[in-house]
Amino acid sequence: MVSRAERSAFGDWWWTVDRLLLAGLAILMLAGLVFLMAGGPPVAERLGLSTFHFVNRQVMFLVPALFIMIPVSFLSLRHIRRLALLVYAVGMALILLAFQYGPEIKGAHRWIMIGPLGLQPSEFVKPAFVVLSAWAFSEGARRKDVPGTLLAFLLLPATIVPLILQPDFGQTMLVTIVWCGLFFIAGLHWFWVMGLGGAGLVGIVAAYEFLPHVRARIERFLDKDSGDTFQVDTAMESFSRGGWLGRGPGEGTVKRILPDAHTDFIFAVTAEEFGIIVCIALLVVFAFIVLRGLTLARRNEDTFCRLAATGLIFMFGLQACINMMVNVHLMPAKGMTLPFISYGGSSLLSLALGMGFLIALTRRRPRAEMLDNFNQDWPRG
């Protein structure tokens, strides 16, 4: 037990972070390993890999994820902004390099190889984008001599245009919705909010008209007879097979025929083996983390912390909702992972970075420390 009188860096961190938020994230990480042990082995065997290939790799990525999340949560506000700027710049550079040097997977250039490991740069751009957008909006509201709102407006197209060109419509939609949420929370006029909604609708129509894979997914969602709906139909069947209590660990059959049982449809695999009750419990954990994060953000008097924390937890919750809604056929397939549950190295490391930012932003800080951080970023003449 760490004493309140201890004045070490760890002692200061332990008594200023929200330990309930930490506990919720720890539960998700452990649950992810348990559920992946159910969904991962059949996929690995179909691919000719060792039985626990995906489980072992998830553990391998979970260790550096913790080494990202915990140190980042120690950062001051000034260093959070600087790290976000660095991650954003490097991530966008890697996205552009992926067009030329990255492998084409399912018709998209989203990955870049770093030695034997594949990295999806857009995953790391997301949390950095949220922090930078919140910084721009907060500075625009705080200081009239800083064009913060204009920078926030320029930041959105600079981020989503490369994502559209990959193409990655799911990430584009996620980033845009979160940016619009920040725009609304920053207190800008309803006229602009409605205008952004209209622009988003135009974007969806344009994607439907000009991107064949988007059109195919929407049509399959609206009309089962218009294309192959095998994965979604099988996922829905898993909920009825599992019932309330599930068929038992290792007893599921859906995972043996679902190609993405360890990633996009791990929620459906969990439903068959562990039951709908466990799925509801998992949903409750996600809801607790989101509500806890929003509560901490609302209590924060600093505009930047409030906006950035809200944006990060909104992105986290929205990604979880999209994945679970796809599994129960409430949305067209998006290819989006379930945070900390689905297999995926880039996703896991990116989530660790985002949650590290969130923990750092929601730490209890004296007002003097916050003012000092901002004054060092924007010195007055």
Three state DSSP letters for 236-286:
HHHHHHHCCCCCCCCCCCHHHCCCCCCCCCHHHHHHHHHCHHHHHHHHHHH
The pLDDT of residue 129 = 96
The pLDDT of residue 280 = 95
Q: Which of 290, 357, 367, 360 is nearest to 18 (CA)?
A: 360
Mean pLDDT by 10 residues, the chain (381 residues): 64 87 95 89 84 88 94 94 96 89 75 79 94 91 75 90 84 88 78 68 70 68 63 81 84 79 87 92 96 93 92 95 88 82 90 96 72 52 42
The pLDDT of residue 237 = 85
What is the distance between the alpha carbons of residues 312 and 75, in angstroms, rounded to a whole number?
16
pTM score above 0.85: yes
- Residues paired with 112 in a beta bridge: 119
Give per-residue burial for 178-189: e unless 16+ CB within 10 Å, then b.
bbbbbbebbebe
The pLDDT of residue 380 = 47
The pLDDT of residue 292 = 96
> Which burial class, exposed, middle or buried, applies to 116 when counting CB atoms under 10 A from its CB (0-12, 13-18, 19+)?
exposed
DSSP state of 362: T
Phi, psi for 246 (deg, rounded to 5): 85, 165
The pLDDT of residue 368 = 46
**301: Cβ–Cβ under 8 A, 6 or more apart, which residues?**
367
The pLDDT of residue 190 = 64
